[in-house]
Amino acid sequence: MNKEVLNVKDMHKIYPGGVHAVKGVSFYVNEGESVAIIGSSGSGKSTVLRCINRLIEPTEGIVMLKGNRINTPVVDINEIRSRIGMVFQSFELFAHLKVLQNITLGLIHVRGMSESEAEDLALSVLERVDMLDRKDAYPGNLSGGQKQRVAIARALAMKPEILLFDEPTSALDPELIGSVLENIRSLADEGMTMVIVTHEIGFARDVADRIIYMDQGIIAEEGGSDIIDNPQTERMQKFLSTWD
């Protein structure tokens, strides 16, 4: 049985100023699935993710998490943020806190854990991303790839029902991309439910269960990894030809 975790129905976003960034996007993510969203810059990918976890509100449409509508004022934003994890391209770690405290902070203040409980959990997620040995480092002394792995660990520590990635490797030097993708791949193998916006097309093809191609605010094509090798639309063919 496929258990649905996320369902986005006919999402629209018109920004103040009039840009119609998302024009009727619908998709679902089942438990344990990894869905990749690809597409040119400006096609609305980040807007979709930000509307899902309510960093911004969609102008129209419904976002369902495990069968309940979440884009409505009666649902507490903090509850949503703890059920939907988000990893950004820019890491967003606290520079004045060590790696370990970057992770325990939310557990203590949002989840109400004791310091020692939070620390145990933080250590276990740091181990999952191979960052245990840097637990006492400050973010400023880490490489971009290491920072991103800490950001992933921090998201995992909240035990989200779904994890959203917005171009997690696009701010990294090429040689640091691999280790972060490796971490995300193991999460997929472990059955984490994820939506990954990425410009790493090869990674999307290898790791994602389904791929969504967005163009100018709509889903122009979607399917299994085969759509990368056999795109049906001219615009997706054109988009992919720029990635070889």
Ligand X SMILES: Nc1ncnc2c1ncn2[C@@H]1O[C@H](COP(=O)(O)OP(=O)(O)O)[C@@H](O)[C@H]1O
Which residues contribute to the site for ligand X (CB under 6 A)?
15, 17, 19, 21, 39, 41-47
Q: What, of ligand X, Mg ion, none, does residue 43 touch, CB below 5 to 8 Å by kind? A: ligand X
Total residues contacting Mg ion (rule CB under 5 A)? 1
Which is closer to Mg ion, CB of 193 or CB of 198? 198
Q: How far is the CB of 172 from Mg ion (least distance, A)?
A: 15
Which is closer to Mg ion, CB of 91 or CB of 157? 91
Which is closer to Mg ion, CB of 47 or CB of 193? 47
Q: What, of ligand X, Mg ion, none, does residue 112 touch, CB below 5 to 8 Å by kind? A: none
Alpha helices in 89-143 (DSSP H): 99-109, 115-128
State the Cα torsion 92-98-102-107 to the nearest 10°.
180
Q: What, of ligand X, Mg ion, none, does residue 198 touch, CB below 5 to 8 Å by kind? A: none
Q: How far apart are CA 139 and CA 30, in angstroms?
A: 34
Q: How far apart are CA 166 and CA 44, in angstroms?
A: 11
Q: How far apart are CA 115 and CA 107, in angstroms?
A: 9
Q: Which residue has the tokens 């998490």?
A: 65
**HSE of 231, CA atoms in CB hemisphere, 13 A:** 20
Which is closer to Mg ion, CB of 91 or CB of 134? 91
Q: How far is the CB of 182 from Mg ion (least distance, A)?
A: 22
Q: What part of residues 21-60 is at the interface with Mg ion (CB under 5 A)?
A: 46
Q: How far apart are CA 78 and CA 233, in angstroms?
A: 40
What residues line the site for Mg ion (CB under 5 A)? 46
